[in-house]
Amino acid sequence: EHICCSRPLQCPPGLAALREKSVPRVCTIGVPGTCPPDHLCVRGVGEPLANGAASLCCKPDETCAAGANYLGGAQRCTPGDGRCPLGTRCLSSSSSLSTKAVDLVFECCLSTVIVTCPDGTPPLRRPRNHSIVRCTSSSLSDCPSTFTCDQLSDDSLGCCSIPQEECIEAFSLNGIVLSCKSNADCPKGSCTRSSDGKHYCCIEKEHICCSRPLQCPPGLAALREKSVPRVCTIGVPGTCPPDHLCVRGVGEPLANGAASLCCKPDETCAAGANYLGGAQRCTPGDGRCPLGTRCLSSSSSLSTKAVDLVFECCLSTVIVTCPDGTPPLRRPRNHSIVRCTSSSLSDCPSTFTCDQLSDDSLGCCSIPQEECIEAFSLNGIVLSCKSNADCPKGSCTRSSDGKHYCCIEKVQLIYDALN
């Protein structure tokens, strides 16, 4: 009898299973010799096998990328224990050089190194594989018309959205209006798309041409008087209204040397995005929150006085993944997740299926391009499907004929044949 599992037992992310005749080798945690020296006996992810086995021999095949170390690599972990915080995975440290798996050092590692554009927005990504659309500063054609080539937070170049603001005055040099392909072509200016479809170096609305205008840190909005942000002095009471804070701004100081602005918190830390569960407090503008986090007002702060608010380091992006740890399909224009309903196959492209994401919502997830050895049948009828929900403990897989069927997992089929 074939048993159709909801999800086959596999190694946690960052580890590869040892397979013998395509069957993963099971083991017993704590019993030496059940796995080769370069493998670890780890509790797997997914449904236990029919004999109750839930641990597999797994070999580390991914290390924590540079810049992705959670808490600078200070939080150690054990693969398979599930104790790393939301948005992180237990991976081998890049400093681990041993060939014996038991000697490797594992750390909680950010699942995604959060790369942003200069204004904090995400760069343009390809919907198929979620990779950043790269560009060169000398070519405008690398990016769509509403994007420009700019330097990202990891110092690489990528396509960033152009703010749809009116260019009050184009920058001119010796009487010649400067056209541009990217910000790099503008002397302390901003390359902005004009109403005629062309790009020009544009003078900022404040009419100060600077590398980056002084503004409030992410999550706070500047108090403006006649469109000019109000400056203040940190530590001097009364320079800002009660619902504002005097905060060190981000960007170039103003011409008079002022570097602090009256800023009002306008964003709170989203549910599930609390860094260390909200334990790491911060002060807006101090720049001390770790990579991939921002200093935001806690959602539990109810005071109307800004000085009484509680601020915490908050994940810049709540990392939402598919059940297998891969990112869901996103729209390239605004980076939003492509949503779906389990009853409709047409919501997702042909190589994606509607599945439950890590935040319990539904989204389009990539279908692993594996061969379906045998379709699941009930009373002699092969079951077609639109999503995994249509399969009794099964997996909805696209077949070579372009249709979707409930498919018996490879591992389970082989296991059944051997028993």
pLDDT at 414: 30
Which one of 110, 126, 155 terminates a domain? Answer: 110
pLDDT at 262: 93
SS3 276: helix
Is residue 23 one of the residues assigned to a domain? yes
Strand partners, 78: none
Rounded Cα gap, residues 273 and 271, in angstroms: 6
Is residue 325 one of the residues assigned to a domain? no
Is residue 82 one of the residues assigned to a domain? yes
pLDDT at 418: 30
Is residue 153 one of the residues assigned to a domain? no
Residues 311 and 403 in one domain: no
Residues 239 and 308 in one domain: yes
Residues 105 and 19 in one domain: yes
Is residue 327 one of the residues assigned to a domain? no
Please list, in sequence order, all residues whose beta carbon lies within 8 angstroms of the beta carbon of residue 381, skipping any fewer than 6 positions away. none
Is residue 151 one of the residues assigned to a domain? no
pTM as predicted? 0.35
Which one of 268, 302, 318 terminates a domain? Answer: 318
- pLDDT at residue 380 greater than cutoff 70: yes
Residues 353 and 312 in one domain: no
pLDDT at 261: 92
Show the tokens assigned to 290. 């770790």
Is residue 280 one of the residues assigned to a domain? yes
Show the tokens assigned to 386. 């639109």
Range of the domain at 71: 15-110
Number of domains in the chain: 3
N-terminal to C-terminal alpha carbon distance within the chain: 10
Of 42-51, 104-113, 335-344, 409-418, highest mean pLDDT: 42-51
Residues 307 and 350 in one domain: no
Name the residue among 63, 60, 52 with its Cα closest to residue 101: 60
Residues 105 and 32 in one domain: yes
- pLDDT at residue 109 greater than cutoff 60: yes
Is residue 31 one of the residues assigned to a domain? yes
pLDDT at 49: 78
Which one of 318, 335, 363 terminates a domain? Answer: 318
